Amino acid sequence: MTSSLTLRERSEAQASRLPPLLARAEQLAGTVLLGDHGRRRAGLGDDFWQYRPAQAGDSKRLIDHRRSARGDQQFVREREWQIAQSVMLWVDQGASMRFASQDGLPSKADRARLLALATAILLVRGGERVGLTGTALPPRRGNAQILRLAEMLTVDGDDDYAAPEHRAMIPHARAVFISDFLGDLSEVELALTKAADRGVRGVILQLLDPSEEAFPFRGRTIFESVGGTLSHETLKAGDLRDRYLARLAERKERLSHLCRLTGWHLGLHHTSQSAQSALLWLYRALDRGRS
Amino acid sequence: MTVLAGIGFASPWLLLGLLALPVLWLILRAIPPAPIRRRFPGVALMLGLKDDESVSDRTPWWLLLLRMLAVAAVIIGLAGPVLNPQQARDEDGPLLMLLDASWAGATRWPETRELIATQLTEAGRNDRPVAIMRLSDPEPPVFQAADAWRSRLAGLSPAPWQAGISQTDQAISELNTIDHDYDTHWISDGLSHDGRDQVLATLESRGAVRVFQTGGAVLGLSPAQFEDGAVQLTAHRSVAGSAREITILAQGRDPGGTMRVLASVPARFTDGALHATAALSLPSELRARITRFEIQGQHSAGALSLADDSLRRREVALIAGREDREGLELLSPLHYLEQALIPTAELLDGALLDLLPANPDVIVLADVATLSSAEETALTEWIEAGGMLLRFAGPRLAASNISRDAEDPLMPVRLRAGGRSVGGAMSWGEPKTLAPFAEGSPFFGLAIPPDVTVSAQVMAQPDPTLADRVIAALSDGTPLVTRKPLGQGQVVLFHVTANAEWSSLPLSGLFVEMLERLAVSSSAKAPQADDLAGTIWTPLQVMNGFGDLSDAGTLPGVDGPELADAPVGPEMLPGLYASADRRLARNVLGADVELPPALWPDRIAVEGLSVTSEQPLGGLLLSLAILLLVLDVIASLALSGRLGPGRIAAGLALVLMSTPPGPLQAQDAQDRDDFAIAAASEMVLAHVLTSDPEIDRIAQAGLRGLSETLFFRTSVEPAAPMGIDLETDELAFFPLLYWPVTPDQPIPSAEAYGRLNEYLRSGGLILFDTRDADIARFGAASPNGRKLQQLAAPLDIPPLEPLPADHVLTRTFYLLQDFPGRHAGRDVWVEAAPPDAEQVEGMPFRNLNDGVTPVVIGGNDWAAAWAVDDNGRPLLPVGRGFSGERQRELAHRFGVNLVMHVLTGNYKSDQVHVPALLDRLGQ
């Protein structure tokens, strides 16, 4: 009785969270679909791509007689290339992502989930298979997968800084890692090298809050991580700024180096920027990786 | 109360708390500001970073100082500091407050009253019974509680005279009746007066005396005198201080009847001088209007001098019967009159009918027997309107038949034929002397010189009325001067000639005095007691100590010599006195007066009048402490980093929003924009705001009515009319300004006129409406007309003419020939047609000037005829019955035509319209 009630409550809470995320992701994805769709190349597929004059070597079976009957020339009907890719998403669910420096800004986790889900919608509509890294949700296609993705993405993690999941990578698939990458970089390094070993290429999107870039703090301050596991006290926060920024730059440099080594794309996004630009960048980056 | 460095403390022991401040300093210094806890994911990057130095764990010294100051302010504030503490004096026993209470202290009376109030407070605190006594009006002193006096304080006022011997004597006797000792506070006006020393001696015999007196000089003004063609004014001061300039104002009624400053003249006391003189040269018309002179800034009876007849120069027209005796100047009938009158009167010379329109005060006919009937009628009218006709006898009058059988209206008595001659070579008897003037005669009291003799005269017929009409007679009882009233004026006949042929009267000083008594001339000098002997003067207006005039009411009259001589006092109030036609002002100060300052023996302490009131500082200090603590809060927040730049900006914005100037200007600009949009988005009729709300309301309602009429009848569809403030509002949006003229509206500033001229030059039209039906015809006496002249003088207006019958205004929409408003008045004035405008044969109108007339001036109160209420019903009645409604309709039509004229200019002046107009005119 009790358990079913709590289950009901929890599921209602989950369900109430899902639609807005889904709706926002759909809306965000919709802005991209309009201008940028298909593979843009002739190939195997169902959709019409173009008529081209028949060339030597073309099978007679391929000649489109309806078109050819209108003139003396023979035409071949080409279809758009459609091939399914597997794309694996990893979204940092750690506590550090649940941070927003100002009331008007979304938390990093919120933005990461939104971007991930919107990318997933785009990919699914493009006919790709999308899943999560690890074994929890292997890549599948179809709208049901989006619902499952949305469900999985709304689960908060417990750790302060989550490590990327690198198990069960499908060889030659694509991957998208979205995180603030403020945790241990060696885990990331491990995941990327492992992925590179399997021929998985993809995109890393570093998502930062503006305050993490600017460090606008002064005076005597005790800094705590969102999860509460780490803390640091300083008497003059302003003096720490330069050294903090140096460390941040160093971290970005390491990530970029890592990406160059493994052939991944690295992107930086701030929660104060528009989600659409990040989505466009993500989609482009994935597209480019595929072509 | 303990006093430290001029500041008293109610509870000085609290100040020991200041000793705790150093301890507080040490404690506060050791406590660093509390840290802020922040969630921040980037903390992972900061692990291991060390602070450079650990300085900031102590409060900075300036913050400590701020807090110390706040605490010190609280401690001192609670200790009850008082600035200017009133030290309790060890005086005890009854207190007498003796006030000079003369006009000399009137200017500083508010300070005096405040001083008395302060002393009453102090006396009340010490439970001292108090008596207040005015030396200028001594009453038996009554010792009462100070609070009882406090309520009567407002009733104390200075008298318009200074205490004299009689008052001080009375005061001393009153003081001697007090059977106990008392201390005295003598509040002196700063002027010495008789009997002061005796009073002081009396007071000192009963107790201590303190004197309160201002060091400033008392100013006074002598009566104005007319000399050398100018009004001579002399001001006096009691203390010969450094050079000082004062301004003397001449006040009087302007032609509109309102009291105002007619002229002002500066007078300068040179260094060390007690007197300052100034000469004020004024046209006689203006001079006659002056009723008083006063020193600017002084509010006392002594600094005020009332003007009387001595400033008034009467206009006397002299007409003689014989002008042909060239070369015999001394025999001229007018010679002695001229000599007697020239110093004090304006003489007019000319033909009678030319002189009458000038409306002289007196017309003298010296030996003129016959007048033409036209002259007689005009002269009679003039006398009945208040003129005075003074006739002298002479050979012609004696030889004529005038007033022989029946009394001539222009003669006071009937005359016997021929007259008589006494004491001559061919007659018996001695030349006659004058009988003493009877009581009731205007000459009563004048001394008769023994050498005045009369050798010939015309004789009056004994009539029943003769006795009443004789005002001077010879020793044998025959009339010498007779008088009769005629209408509001009078006719006076001297039964002798105006030269020395028949009598020696014109040679004597008595002649001049008689003319003065008859108000033919007025004396330039202050009258002496002898001059006024035998006259009774009734007070018209009397003044109080402040120099304010009030109606005399039923005060008894005073004897003439007393008026001249007696010192000002309770029985002889300063003010304006009248006797028959003459007016005499009795001022507080005479012509040659000294204002001796009050000097006190060394043993008497003299203190100033000014009171420095106690001022508690506690609230001020506690407010300062709160302010400091607020600063401390801000500084602490800033130090601990909780005051981000965003919040500082928000705080600054809040502060800026609470300071008015910036936002207000923005508001102004916004208002101006709104106004411009409202005025320019649709056609709007506008009226000039006068200072009279009722006129403005009617103008607004009138333009609303006109707007509605235009809306219904024409394609002009105006929005709601607007009131325009010429000083602030932009005029360019309005095609038409309706300007109702009120006599008391303010004249616009020079900038406003600049904008108005700009408006007129750029094609605007102003409809001036004097609203008085133009009763005075333009330019003249109606107050509205005069105001219109003032208002329009700086405007750039072309020559005007009454609206000609072929002006385009008569046919812009309706065909009109009259332009009535609420009044169906006469001319409406517009820009004059060019002089070369000629009517072409066969054309009903001239080709007049291009453009729109910049002004239309009339007085028909159009707005009142147009005015409608909110329901569209006429607001004010026009005329009676149907004709009134017709007049209102015509008024509306005029308004429509005017607006059409403004909007279409000379369109209807185009000859193209001639056939249609001719058709409509039915020609």
Tens-digit pLDDT profile for residues A165-198: 888 788 888 888 999 888 888 888 888 888 888 8
pLDDT of residue B335: 84
What 8-state DSSP symbol labels residue A140? B
Residue B497: both structure tokens together: 């000639």
Same domain, B128 and B105: yes
Which DSSP helix (H) or strand (E) runs through B196? helix B196-204
- How many whole angstroms separate alpha carbon B669 and alpha carbon B675? 10
- CB within 8 A of B614, min separation 6: which ones? B82, B83, B84, B85, B86
Distances, alpha carbon B811 to alpha carbons B844, B913, B916, B918, in Å: 12, 10, 11, 11
How many contacts, defined by CB atoms under 8 Å, are there between A and B?
105
- B586 and B452, same domain (yes or no): no
Residue B184 lies in a domain: yes
**pLDDT range class, residue A14, cuts 50, 70, 90:** low
Q: Which residues of B touch A186 (CB under 8 A)?
A: none
Do B76 and B103 have their domain in common? no
Q: Over 50: is that where the pLDDT of B664 sits?
A: no
Q: A18-37+83-290: CATH homologous superfamily?
A: von Willebrand factor, type A domain (3.40.50.410)
Task: Considering only the beta carbons, identify the residue of A99, A224, A248 that sits closest to B45.
Answer: A248
Q: pLDDT-based confidence at B524, cuts 50/70/90?
A: low
Q: How many CA atoms lie within 13 A of B901 on its CB side?
A: 30
Q: Nearest CA to B529 among B570, B558, B508, B503?
A: B558
Q: Cβ distance A91 to A136 under 8 Å?
A: no
Give dist(CA A67, CA A73) in Å, integer: 9
pLDDT digits (tens, 9 = 90+) for B256-311: 778 888 888 888 888 888 888 888 888 777 777 888 888 888 888 888 888 877 77
3-class DSSP state of B270:
coil
Residues B342, B290 share a domain: no
Of the candidates A147, A176, A148, A182, the one whose C-alpha atom is nearest the C-alpha of residue A163 is A182
Measured between alpha carbons, how far is B207 from B316 in angstroms, rounded to an integer?
Answer: 66
Q: b or e along B584-612 (b: 16 or more beta carbons within 10 Å of the residue's beta carbon)?
A: bbbbbbeeebebebbebeeebebeebebe
User: Distance between CA B264 and CA B292 in Å, rounded?
Assistant: 12
DSSP β-bridge partners for residue B607: B212
Contact B640 A220 (CB under 8 A): yes
pLDDT of the residue at B499: 84
pLDDT-derived band at A289 (thresholds 50, 70, 90) equals very low
Q: Of B390, B394, B414, give the one whose Cα is nearest residue B402.
A: B414
CB contact (8 A) between residue B51 and residue A238? no
Distance CA B268, CA B858 (A): 49
Task: Identify whether residues B712 and B731 lie together within a single domain.
Answer: yes
Average per-residue pLDDT for chain B: 81
Look at B507 and B15; give whichever has higher pLDDT. Answer: B507
Q: Is B237 found in the same domain as B263?
A: yes
Give yes or no: residues B861 and B786 share one domain: yes
Tell which B residues from 419 to 478 touch A, by Cβ distance under 8 Å.
Answer: none
Report residue B549's pLDDT band, with 50, 70 and 90 as the boundaries: confident
Torsions phi, psi for B492 (to 5 deg): -120, 135
Residue A100 makes CB contacts below 8 A (sequence gap 6+) with: A106, A107, A108, A110, A209, A271
pLDDT bin (cut points 50, 70, 90) of residue B703 is very high
Q: Please tell me which residue of chain B has the smallest CA distance to A180.
A: B41
pLDDT higher than threshold 50 for residue B663: no
Q: Is the pLDDT of residue A253 over 90?
A: yes
B42 contacts on A by Cβ (under 8 Å): 182, 212, 215, 223, 244, 248
Instruction: Say what the pLDDT of residue A8 is.
Output: 63
Q: Which residues of B809-906 form beta strands (DSSP E)?
A: 829-831, 855-858
Q: Which of residues 41-100 of B touch A (CB under 8 A)?
A: 41-47, 49, 51-52, 54, 56-57
Residues B733 and B835 in one domain: yes
Within this chain, do residues B608 and B643 fall inside the same structural domain, yes or no? no
Residue B361: what are its φ and ψ, rounded to 5°? -75, -40
Q: What tens digit of pLDDT does each residue of A108-118 get?
A: 888 888 888 88
Q: Are A114 and A24 in contact (CB under 8 A)?
A: yes
Average pLDDT over residues B796-818: 83
pLDDT of residue A36: 41
Boundaries of every domain in chain A: 18-37+83-290, 48-79
Confidence grade of residue A43 (pLDDT, cut at 50, 70, 90): low
- Cα separation of B755 and B732, whole Å? 9
- Expressed in percent and rounded to 5, the helix, strand and coil fractions of chain B are 35, 20, 45
The answer to whether residue B472 scores a pLDDT higher than 60 is yes
How would DSSP label each residue in B53-122? ---TTS--HHHHHHHHHHHHHHHHHHT-EEES--PPP---S-EEEEE--SGGGTTTHHHHHHHHHHHHHH
Interface test with A, best of B39, B50, B637 (most A CBs within 10 A): B39
List Cα–Cα distances, B715 to A45, B261, B684, B824, in angstroms: 73, 53, 14, 28
- Chain A residues inside the 8 Å CB shell of B56: 220, 235-236
A168-194 burial code (b ≥16 CB/10 A, e <16): ebbeebbbbbbbbbbbeeebbbebbee
Tell me how far apart the alpha carbons of residues B570 and B572 are, in angstroms, rounded to a whole number.
Answer: 6
Does B44 sit within 8 Å of A220, measured CB to CB? no
Tokens 């991209």 sit at which residue? A32
Q: Do B57 and A236 touch (CB under 8 A)?
A: no
The confidence band for A2, taking pLDDT boundaries of 50, 70 and 90, is very low
Q: Quote the number of domains for chain B.
A: 5
Contact check, Cβ <8 Å, A243/B33: no
- Co-location of B770 and B913 in the same domain: yes
- Average pLDDT of the segment spanning B244-254: 87
The conformation of residue B509, written as its DSSP 8-state character, comes to H
- Which chain A residue shows the shortest CA-CA distance from B57? A235
* Cα Rg of chain B, angstroms: 42
Confidence of residue B398 (pLDDT cuts 50, 70, 90): confident
B577 SS3 class: strand
Nearest to A225 among B41, B52, B641 (CB): B41
* Residues of chain A found within 8 Å of residue B51, distances taken between Cβ atoms: 234-236, 239-240
Percent above pLDDT 90 for chain A: 7
Q: What is the DSSP string of B337-394?
A: HHHHHTTTEEEEES-HHHHGGG--SEEEEES-----HHHHHHHHHHHHTT-EEEEE--
Interface confidence, given as ipTM, is 0.73
CB B756 within 8 A of CB B704: no
pLDDT exceeds 50 at position B661: no
Burial class of residue B729 in the structure, from the number of CB atoms within 10 Å of its CB (0-12 exposed, 13-18 middle, 19+ buried): buried
Checking if the pLDDT of B33 tops 90, the result is: no
The fraction of chain B above a pLDDT of 90, given in percent, is 3
- What is the distance of C-alpha B210 from the center of its chain? 40
**Position B576 pLDDT exceeds 60:** yes
User: If you search the block for the tokens 């300085």, which residue do you land on?
Assistant: B55
Kindly state whether residues B605 and B618 are assigned to the same domain.
Answer: no
Nearest of B221, B903, B92 to residue B589 by alpha carbon: B221
Mean pLDDT of all residues in chain A?
A: 80
> In the prediction, which pLDDT does B521 show?
63
Indicate the burial class of B530 (C-beta count within 10 angstroms; 0-12, 13-18, 19 or more): middle
pLDDT for position A35: 39
B41, A99: Cβ pair inside 8 Å? Answer: yes
If asked whether residues B752 and B788 sit together in one domain, one would say: yes
Contact B41 A237 (CB under 8 A): no
CB contact under 8 A, B42 and A230: no
The pLDDT assigned to A206 comes to 92
Residue with tokens 């899943």: A131
CB contact set of B819 (below 8 Å; sequence gap of 6+): B803, B809, B828, B858, B860, B890, B891, B894
Residue B642 φ then ψ, to 5°: -85, 0
Lowest-pLDDT choice from B186-190, B523-527, B814-818: B523-527
Q: Determine, for residues B44 and A243 on separate chains, whether the beta-carbon distance falls below 8 Å.
A: no
Contacts with A182 from chain B: Cβ below 8 Å: 41-42, 44-45
Bridge pairing between strands A231-234 and B81-83: unpaired
Report the C-alpha gap between B187 and B96 in whole angstroms: 11
Of the candidates B32, B45, B641, the beta carbon closest to that of A182 is on: B45
Domain that holds residue B271: 219-313+538-551+561-596
CA of A16 to nearest chain B CA: how many angstroms apart?
28
Show the tokens assigned to B93. Answer: 């026993």
Interface of B with A in 571-600 (CB under 8 A): none
Residues in chain A within 8 Å Cβ distance of B39: 99, 223-226
Q: Does B257 touch chain A (CB under 8 A)?
A: no
Confidence of residue A46 (pLDDT cuts 50, 70, 90): low
Task: Decide: B600 and B211 in contact? Cβ < 8 Å.
Answer: yes
Any idea which residue has 């050791």 for tokens? Answer: B30
Residue B133: inside a domain, yes or no?
yes
**Cβ distance of A248 and B42 shorter than 8 Å:** yes
The predicted structure's pLDDT at residue B705? 92
Share of residues in chain B with pLDDT > 70 (%): 86
Banded model confidence at residue A6, pLDDT cuts 50, 70, 90: low
* CB–CB contact B34 A220 (8 Å): yes
More confident residue, B165 or B5: B165
pLDDT level of residue B706 (50, 70, 90 thresholds): very high
Smallest CA–CA distance, residue B58 to chain A, in Å, is 11
Mutate to test the interface with A, among B43, B49, B63, B640 (most CBs of A within 10 A): B43
- Residue B235 CB neighbours (<10 A): 25
Q: Quote the CA–CA distance of A37 and B339 in Å, as a whole number.
A: 126
- pLDDT of residue B869 exceeding 90: no
Of B45, B630, B568, B289, nearest in space to A182 by CA? B45
- How far is B721 from B541, CA to CA, in rounded Å? 51
pLDDT over 60 (residue A62): yes
Please name the residue that has the structure tokens 């609420």: B822
Instruction: Decide which of A285 and B825 is more confident.
Output: A285
Residues A193-246 pLDDT 10s: 888 888 888 899 999 998 888 888 877 788 888 888 888 888 777 778 888 899
